[in-house]
Amino acid sequence: MPSPETSSVRIVLTAAGSFIHTLPSGTTRVELMSGHFTPLGDGRRLGACITSVALDGTPVALDRAMFAEGFHEVEERDHSLSRWTNGRGVLIVSPKQADQILELGVAYVIRSMEQDE
């Protein structure tokens, strides 16, 4: 039985790029944290622009239910899909008895934090 300490993993995104993270066995929740801002005329709080996700080498569509709270709708630009977080996106993963490998493609990351109201 997984311990409560391993059920949630927090990943702080500070730069764009491709990243690989090991999720301990029993992980059910991954928090993707970053800075955030609200562009004028947009109204959305934007944090990190996620372009790809894979679990144990299997790509995950950006419109899957695992993109829980803190994600905006999927966007298409130049024939590529992406999904912005609001600075705290939560991925829900099925717990495994072994470690899992999470791969993330990140196009943009907002580094500075606005003050929450």
User: Taking the CB of residue 56, how many other CB atoms lie within 10 A of it?
Assistant: 12
Q: Which domain holds residue 63?
A: 4-108
Q: How many residues does the chain have?
A: 117
Q: Looking at the domain assignment, is residue 82 inside a domain?
A: yes
Number of domains in the chain: 1
With contact defined as beta carbons under 8 Å apart, do 98 and 24 qualify?
Answer: no
Integer Cα distance of 117 and 112 in angstroms: 16
Integer Cα distance of 45 and 101 in angstroms: 28
Q: Looking at the domain assignment, is residue 116 inside a domain?
A: no
| Six-digit token string for 74 | 């999927």
Q: Looking at the domain assignment, is residue 117 inside a domain?
A: no
pLDDT in tens, the chain (117 residues): 444 445 999 999 999 999 999 999 999 999 999 999 999 999 999 999 999 999 999 999 999 999 999 999 999 988 899 999 999 999 999 999 999 999 999 999 998 755 454
The whole model's pTM is what? Answer: 0.87
Q: Looking at the domain assignment, is residue 50 inside a domain?
A: yes
Q: Which amino acid is at 46?
A: L
Q: Looking at the domain assignment, is residue 93 inside a domain?
A: yes
